Each structure stands twice: as structure tokens, then as C-alpha cells.
């Protein structure tokens, strides 16, 4: 991740007359998920502090504890130099309209330049009034289905907070962790597995009728060459095939040394140099 993530505070999240403490708590959780911490409340209906908010904040206590309350929107944004208003409805006027993915870099650039920014979110029932939108510098709206444009306030905050976090990453595909680096096995190892499996299947009469064997082998190879097995994975598969090849219900692993296994091991053992017993002179 970019080190820039920790160099700026991030925009203030401003909730205008929020009605339910539970929603405020979920907003705090969404903020904390993506590195935002400054929550401003304008005339919350049920007062503040609110234990219902803390209960739904999922331990985002630092956001709840630092939240500030203002009697009016004008006072809540008085110290800010750039403010965005979120809305799902088209508004008459001349305000620029941005998508979240466009708005986040603008906010980050201003924050990096030591400006103070904020994002307005309206009431759960009807959002922001036209007068409140008019106090903002620009509008942010979400690319949602117009047939169902209602967003929960915490969802709206989550979308903006996510875009804010993304705007500070080294690349858009940055994530906190990645899967392991996979190095495919050499082709000779894969071919060895395929030959091993083909021999084992042929010994058990799998390729029937004989005229279709070539096509069946082609399909088998197509399936097994698709995943890009590692060397370790190929060793596991060959161990499975060997176990099926040498052991059977009548001679399971652990009850002895099956004749087929002994017959396969004897030539290999004969090729290995004999080691002198311990204590003998070299």
C-alpha cells in the first residue's frame, strides 16, 4: 500500500440530522474499515452520546468517542474548504456532479494540500434538502439502479470511504495480502505424471475400447495440463497413483510389502551403491 495513506487525515463524514443511533454506529464502522475517523453529527434526533450507536459500531470506538455534534450544518462545515454533498436524486442547479471514483482523488489531492474537506450525508428518510446541497461545492451520486435508488446511510458512507481508501493505494489492485507465488513444475515432471497415470490406467483396463484409447489419453492430458501444477503437487499426485498401483484391498498399505511394490523397487535398489556399515574403514 502507498505510504500516503497515513499522511492525510481524510475527509470529515458529516451526517445531517441522523435519526437512529444504530445507523450512526454502522457509519462509524464503515469509516473505520477504510481509514476515516472524523465524524460530525448535525442535530442527531435521539441526542448524543448514544449507546445504540456504540453497540453497532463493532468496536470502532475511536470514531464514536471523537464524534462532534453541531446544532446546524453551517457550523458543522464552517472550517472546511471543500465539501461534497451525496444524493441519489437529480437536483436542479449548476453544481458539478461526480461519481465516487472521480470524487475520491479530488478529496485526496485537497487533503494532501492541507485543505480540510467533508462529505455530507442526509437523513435516512429523505436525504439532504436542496438548500443543504446548495452549501456544497459539488454533488456525488452513485451509479445505482434508478428503479431502486434508496441507499442506507451506512452503505453510502461505505462506498465513499472505499473509494477514498482506493485513491491512496499504489495501484487500484492493491490488497493487504496476496496468495502464495506459484511456480509451475517443469514440463518433464508433468509428462512423467501423465505417463505414470496412463500406465496405471492401462494396467486396469481403463482404456476401452482400445480404438478410443488415443482420444481418451488426449482428453486426460488436456484435463491435467490445465491447472499448472507445482512440483510439490505433482509429487502428491504421483504418490497417489503409486499407492493405487501397488496396494489393493487385499494388500493395503501397512500390512506388508506387496509383491508388485517389491518387483518395482528391486531394480532401483540394485542400481544404488552399497553403503559401508558404520564403523568400517573406508
Q: Residues 43-102: pLDDT tens digits?
A: 999 999 999 999 999 999 999 999 999 999 999 999 999 999 999 888 777 789 999 999
Is there a domain that residue 182 lies in? no
Residues 102 and 139 in one domain: yes
Is there a domain that residue 193 lies in? yes
User: Alpha-carbon distance 69 to 41, whole Å?
Assistant: 5
**Of 73, 74, 96, 70, residue with least CA distance to 84:** 96
Q: What is the mean pLDDT of residues 213-227?
A: 86
Under the banding of pLDDT at 50, 70 and 90, the label for residue 275 is low
Count of domains for the chain? 2
Residues 203 and 138 in one domain: no
Q: Higher pLDDT residue, 210 or 45?
A: 45
Residues 86 and 139 in one domain: yes
Residues 193 and 162 in one domain: no
Percentage of residues in the chain having pLDDT higher than 90:
50
**Of 93, 149, 152, residue with least CA distance to 122:** 152
Q: How many Å is the maximal CA-CA distance in the chain? A: 100
Is there a domain that residue 276 lies in? no
Is there a domain that residue 17 lies in? yes
Please give the pLDDT value at position 209: 87
Has this prediction a pTM greater than 0.75?
no
Residues 53 and 101 in one domain: yes
Output the domain CATH number for residue 119: 3.40.1280.10
Is there a domain that residue 181 lies in? no
Least confident range from 73-87, 171-185, 205-219, 227-241: namely 171-185
83 Cβ contact list (under 8 Å, min separation 6):
14, 77, 117, 118, 119, 120, 135, 136, 137
Is there a domain that residue 277 lies in? no
Is there a domain that residue 172 lies in? no
For the stretch 70-73, contacts whose Cβ atoms lie closer than 8 Å and that sit 24 or more positions apart, written own/partner, are 70/40, 70/41, 70/42, 70/43, 71/42, 71/43, 72/42, 72/43, 73/14, 73/16, 73/42, 73/120, 73/132, 73/135
Domain end marker among 133, 167, 201:
167
Residues 24 and 161 in one domain: yes
Residue 279 has what DSSP assignment? T
What is the chain's mean pLDDT, rounded?
85
3-state helix, strand, coil in the chain (%, to 5): 45, 10, 40
Burial status of residue 44 (CB atoms within 10 A of its CB: 0-12, 13-18, 19 or more): buried
Residues 157 and 247 in one domain: no
User: Alpha-carbon distance 16 to 263, whole Å?
Assistant: 82
What is the residue whose three cell numbers read 573406508?
Answer: 282
Residues 140 and 198 in one domain: no
Q: What is the mean pLDDT of residues 110-127?
A: 94
Residues 124 and 202 in one domain: no
Percentage of residues in the chain having pLDDT higher than 70:
84
Residues 95 and 21 in one domain: yes
pLDDT for residue 137 is more than 50: yes
Is there a domain that residue 278 lies in? no
Range of the domain at 236: 187-271
Number of H helices, E strands in the chain: 11, 7
Query: 232 and 239 in contact (C-beta within 8 Å)?
Result: no
What is the residue whose three cell numbers read 514440463?
Answer: 187
Residues 29 and 126 in one domain: yes
Please give the pLDDT value at position 270: 65
Amino acid at each position: 500500500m502507498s505510504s500516503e495513506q497515513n499522511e492525510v487525515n481524510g475527509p470529515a463524514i458529516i451526517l445531517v440530522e441522523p435519526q437512529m443511533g444504530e445507523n450512526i454506529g454502522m457509519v462509524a464502522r464503515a469509516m473505520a474499515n477504510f481509514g476515516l475517523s472524523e465524524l460530525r453529527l448535525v442535530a442527531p434526533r435521539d441526542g448524543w452520546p448514544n449507546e445504540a450507536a456504540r453497540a453497532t459500531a463493532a468496536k470502532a470506538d475511536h470514531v464514536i468517542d471523537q464524534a462532534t455534534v453541531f446544532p446546524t450544518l453551517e457550523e458543522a462545515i464552517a472550517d472546511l474548504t471543500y465539501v461534497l454533498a451525496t444524493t441519489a436524486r437529480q437536483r436542479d442547479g449548476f453544481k458539478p456532479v461526480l461519481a465516487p471514483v472521480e470524487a475520491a482523488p479530488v478529496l485526496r489531492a485537497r487533503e494532501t494540500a492541507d485543505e480540510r474537506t467533508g462529505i455530507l450525508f442526509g437523513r435516512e428518510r429523505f436525504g439532504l434538502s436542496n438548500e443543504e446541497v446548495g452549501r456544497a461545492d459539488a454533488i456525488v451520486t452513485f451509479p445505482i439502479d434508478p428503479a431502486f435508488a434508496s441507499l442506507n446511510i451506512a452503505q453510502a458512507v461505505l462506498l465513499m470511504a472505499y473509494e477514498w481508501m482506493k485513491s491512496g493505494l499504489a495501484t487500484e489492485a492493491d490488497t493487504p495480502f496476496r496468495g502464495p507465488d506459484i511456480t509451475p513444475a517443469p514440463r518433464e515432471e508433468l509428462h512423467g505424471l501423465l505417463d505414470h497415470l496412463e500406465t496405471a490406467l492401462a494396467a486396469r483396463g481403463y482404456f476401452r475400447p482400445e480404438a478410443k484409447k488415443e482420444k481418451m489419453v488426449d482428453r486426460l492430458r488436456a484435463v491435467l495440463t490445465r491447472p499448472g501444477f507445482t512440483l510439490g503437487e505433482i509429487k502428491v499426485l504421483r504418490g497417489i497413483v503409486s499407492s493405487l498401483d501397488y496396494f489393493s484391498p487385499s494388500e493395503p498399505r501397512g500390512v506388508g510389502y506387496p509383491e508388485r511394490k517389491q518387483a518395482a523397487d528391486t531394480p532401483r535398489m540394485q542400481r544404488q551403491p552399497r553403503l559401508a556399515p558404520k564403523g568400517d574403514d573406508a
